[in-house]
Amino acid sequence: MDEKRRISLERADELHKEIEDYLAFKEDFLRQTAEIRDILSKKHKEELMSYFDAGEDEWNDWHWQLRHRISSVSLLSKFIKLSDSRYEMFEEISKKFRWATTPYYLSLMDYEDMNYPINLMALPSAAEASESGEMDPMSEEFTNPAPCITRRYPNRLIINVTSSCAMFCRHCQRRRRIGESDRIESEENIEKAIEYIRQTKEIRDVLITGGDPLMLPDEMLESIISRVRAIEHVEIIRIGTRVMVTMPQRITDELCQMLKKYHPLYINTQFNHPGELTREAVSACCRLSDSGIPLGNQMVFLKGINNDKYIVQLLNEGLLKARVRPYYIFHPKQVIGTKHFEITVEEGLRIMKYLRGHTSGLAIPQYILNAPHGLGKVPLLPKYIEESDEEHVKLLTWEGREVEIVY
């Protein structure tokens, strides 16, 4: 064997050792999914369908999913056995922050382990009683130049078209707007928002969000999208939605046919845990991709759910397989009732540092902290530059090796 081949083989061996633990984790996770999670969720789905006396067609109909949302503790307790204290706590927290989950998302939960990440994202927690944080850390109230509009940047803005969502996520960073009522903005306000965009020539990128804009019926959504698309200076339209995760049945062929008329149109969603990448969710994403819509994921770092380097890697690699590009990872904001999900920036940076080198760049989103008071996004990067001046730069590689470039 020549020397170069020997060195290459040694390096290949070293690289394999770097990824060994992750591969074991992945194998274990996927085996559990195949052997336990899939069976359990199928069983839960059958129980839910039987309770609601529904067939497969109804289960696959998003209107049915919405009509049968589980939002009372007594109904929930028919499926998940709750201790008296937990029952009372759920009742108590419901008075402060409304909760609801689709039958689909409930079917993914672990009925025994209340710390399972899917449960944590959907069911109330005693920790929500904490008053720590703010209701509007982004000062959205002060970046609202017209009804339904949030404007934080020079050439792009947001239209909030509804306060309704398929599920009220416990980590929601917009709790202030979400959950009090299922309110679609009035046509009058929406038209005022669109008129603001018409009059503001520098706006080239419009994000339609809420709540979840895919709660709107197709016709209403199309009426908004088509008016925005008709504005000459608007180059791209984006939609922010979590329905692929919480109610994938919403991604119907009719919806895809409608959306594909308004390209360039992008959709960003929010998968936070690989357990959410079910067959239904992946197939909903693929239907949108097949309609030519580029998909991005905006994960939020959440303690107990994804503050783990292997979970983030598995999620991001799974998203790429579902043709969703991991786009952002958001640092959690300090919103009242979500303190228990917070992690530190240091912890987030450690995970980001691990990702580099251990997975392909496509699976590494940008880590973003939204500055308080609506001051915009701050990208957070692990430290790679040790020293830098006009003559040289000293850098650290993904393995922590020091290299120097002299100009």
Please give the residue ranges that form the binding site for ligand SF4 (CB under 6 A). Answer: 165, 168-169, 172, 174, 178, 211-212, 242
Tokens of 84: 């008296």
**Which CB atom, from 231 or from 332, has the smaller least distance to ligand SF4?**
332
CA dist., res. 353 & res. 399, Å (int): 9
CA dist., res. 49 & res. 130, Å (int): 36
Number of Cβ within a 10 Å radius of residue 266: 17
**Which CB atom, from 274 or from 310, has the smaller least distance to ligand SF4?**
274
**Which CB atom, from 160 or from 359, has the smaller least distance to ligand SF4?**
160
**Which CB atom, from 165 or from 319, has the smaller least distance to ligand SF4?**
165
Considering the complex, what minimum distance in angstroms separates the CB of residue 401 from ligand SF4?
40
Considering the complex, what minimum distance in angstroms separates the CB of residue 242 from ligand SF4?
4
Considering the complex, what minimum distance in angstroms separates the CB of residue 65 from ligand SF4?
14
CA dist., res. 120 & res. 104, Å (int): 16
**Which CB atom, from 178 or from 194, has the smaller least distance to ligand SF4?**
178
**Which CB atom, from 243 or from 355, has the smaller least distance to ligand SF4?**
243
Considering the complex, what minimum distance in angstroms separates the CB of residue 299 from ligand SF4?
11
Considering the complex, what minimum distance in angstroms separates the CB of residue 296 from ligand SF4?
15
**Which CB atom, from 163 or from 359, has the smaller least distance to ligand SF4?**
163
CA dist., res. 298 & res. 92, Å (int): 31
Tokens of 88: 């009372």
Considering the complex, what minimum distance in angstroms separates the CB of residue 50 from ligand SF4?
28
Query: Cis peptide before 264, with omega less than 30 degrees from 0?
Result: yes
- First vs last C-alpha separation in the chain: 38
**Which CB atom, from 342 or from 359, has the smaller least distance to ligand SF4?**
342
Considering the complex, what minimum distance in angstroms separates the CB of residue 268 from ligand SF4?
11
Is there a contact between 364 and 352 (Cβ–Cβ < 8 Å)?
yes
Helix 309-321 and helix 345-358, axial crossing angle in degrees, nearest 10: 50
Tokens of 91: 């009742």
Strands 265-269 and 376-379: unpaired
Q: Is 55 exposed, middle or buried (0-12, 13-18, 19+ CB in 10 A)?
A: exposed
**Which CB atom, from 207 or from 355, has the smaller least distance to ligand SF4?**
207
CA dist., res. 112 & res. 44, Å (int): 12
Is there a contact between 37 and 275 (Cβ–Cβ < 8 Å)?
yes
List all residues 6 or more positions away from 47 whose beta carbon is below 8 Å from its beta carbon.
79
CA dist., res. 132 & res. 339, Å (int): 7
Considering the complex, what minimum distance in angstroms separates the CB of residue 192 from ligand SF4?
22
With residues binned 3-state (H G I as helix, E B as strand, rest as coil), the percentages for the chain, rounded to 5, are 45, 15, 35
Considering the complex, what minimum distance in angstroms separates the CB of residue 314 from ligand SF4?
21
